[in-house]
Amino acid sequence: MQNSSLATISAALPTHSIQSIASHFGASETTILDGLQSSVASVANGLAQKSGDQGFVSQVLKLASATPENAISSALSNGSLTTPASTFLTGGSQFLSTIFGGRLSAITEALGSKTGLRTSAASTLLAIGAQTVLGFIGSKVRDGSVSLTNLPSFLTRESDALKGLLPEGFHRQPVPVSTHKVDVNPVIAQSVRDEERRSILPWLLGLLVLALLLGFWWNRSHQPIVATQPETTVPAVSAPVPATITSSTGADLGTLVDATLPDSTTLHIPERGVEGKLLAFIKDPARSPDKTSWFDFDRLLFDTGSDTLQPQSADQLNNIAAILKAYPAVHLTIGGYTDNTGDAAQNLKLSQDRANSVVNQLETMGIDRTRLVAKGYGEDHPVADNSTADGRALNRRISMLVTAK
């Protein structure tokens, strides 16, 4: 395996941090470290596969340059690493969506299968890995060793050095490589591993890489910050690449647009996302609450067969909470639905539990519970053909009905 420049970092991750994450997910420290190193390798590999697109690379460079040097240490100290709705994890999740698009769920499952962790835990580790890689690239930009010109070769070199750490089956979910500029979100699975390379050396190096990476920020955050001038180290980009967002089912929701609410809050929402549709209904005086105008959430993800929301769901829930705060007269019914796979009674319970989870999350975000009703409908009211995989995916949904405005 090639040497990775990541291995030159001389700090170490505090043991208590790994212990805290392991305790939160009920896993061993070895499992968490294994998951983190695989997460870093996955992100590096995904970036390398898209490094031939100059527009994408320029956006990665800009995003990495804007990532705070103390991002990891701050997340360690304030508990953000185990808080799904934290800016740290939602930002990492959105960056992952930019890299992998609709394949993110399969890659998350591959990591979960490799480590034995639940999907929510695997998703969290991937988000940490994304922020780790961004921060490391940012540090290289600031010290002048990485620029727009050499970032592609840097990504390729790092990916090759870490490919022995990828989750098994990663390359069966390849990252699409375009021949033209790819839209990138500036916010924030499976391939067979080559058994002949599964020696103790790659594992130990990967373990060291991850530990050293995160520890780098821990130490840097306790040192005086020296003013830098990113403009002198980061080449100017002639034209920014517009951001796009992908739905939980892989649909293109369009570019990010600004939406200013009556309380002066400005949201950055997908132009074809459910937030805009809900706002249009609320603001239109000609449209009154009825029993048929349901709006489907398009960026919510749950663990398979569970009512546990995955971290990347927090961004859309935060947007809906902000809308409800800006329009205090609005009341919602949150409906949960499943496909027709399995036992109907269990599906009905799961749909109710998932609707309850969404309502509970909105309540923790400051929305009065009296404005929200959770209702599970199970297999009833399908919106697509349950005989196809795509149809079943569309039928597994959470929807909103405005009951007062």
The confidence score (pLDDT) of residue 260 equals 95
Pair (160, 208) in one structural domain: yes
Q: Is residue 238 part of a domain?
A: no
The confidence score (pLDDT) of residue 212 equals 55
The confidence score (pLDDT) of residue 95 equals 83
Q: pLDDT tens across 307-316, in order?
A: 999 988 999 9
Pair (41, 162) in one structural domain: yes
Q: How many domains does the chain have?
A: 2
Pair (260, 157) in one structural domain: no
Are 209 and 67 contacting, i.e. CB atoms less than 8 angstroms apart?
no
Pair (336, 187) in one structural domain: no
Pair (68, 157) in one structural domain: yes
**74 pLDDT band (50/70/90 cuts)?**
low
pTM over 0.85: no
Mean of per-residue pLDDT scores for the chain: 78
Q: pLDDT tens across 237-255, in order?
A: 444 555 578 898 889 999 9
Pair (206, 288) in one structural domain: no
Pair (132, 162) in one structural domain: yes
C-alpha separations of 241 from 62, 107, 276 in Å:
11, 25, 22
Q: pLDDT tens across 36-56, in order?
A: 888 888 888 888 888 888 778
Pair (193, 281) in one structural domain: no
The residue with greater pLDDT, 84 or 157, is: 157
Report the amino acid identity of residue 90: T
Q: Is residue 260 part of a domain?
A: yes
Rounded to whole angstroms, how far apart are CA atoms 24 and 128?
15
The confidence score (pLDDT) of residue 98 equals 80
User: What value does the mean pLDDT take over residues 94-120?
Assistant: 83
Pair (191, 298) in one structural domain: no
Q: Is residue 56 part of a domain?
A: yes
Q: pLDDT tens across 176-222, in order?
A: 444 333 333 333 333 333 333 344 444 445 545 555 555 554 555 44
The confidence score (pLDDT) of residue 116 equals 86
Report helix, strand or coil for 250: coil
The confidence score (pLDDT) of residue 8 equals 42
Domain limit, last residue, from 176, 205, 233? 233
Pair (165, 288) in one structural domain: no
Q: What is the DSSP letter of 378?
A: T
What is the biggest distance separating any 2 CA atoms in the chain, rounded to whole angstroms? Answer: 67
Q: Is residue 241 part of a domain?
A: no
Domain limit, last residue, from 233, 267, 288? 233
pLDDT at 371 > cutoff 90 = yes
Q: Is residue 239 part of a domain?
A: no
Q: Is residue 170 part of a domain?
A: yes
152: CB partners within 8 A, 6+ apart: 51, 52, 57
Pair (202, 260) in one structural domain: no
Are 276 and 256 contacting, i.e. CB atoms less than 8 angstroms apart?
no
Q: Is residue 240 part of a domain?
A: no
The confidence score (pLDDT) of residue 3 equals 56
Sequence-ordered alpha helix ranges (H) in 101-191: 104-115, 119-142, 151-162
Pair (18, 88) in one structural domain: yes
Full residue range of the structural domain in which residue 91 is found: 5-233
pLDDT at 6 > cutoff 90 = no
The confidence score (pLDDT) of residue 357 equals 96
Q: Is residue 336 part of a domain?
A: yes
CATH number where 383 lies: 3.30.1330.60
Rounded to whole angstroms, how far apart are CA atoms 351 and 93?
24
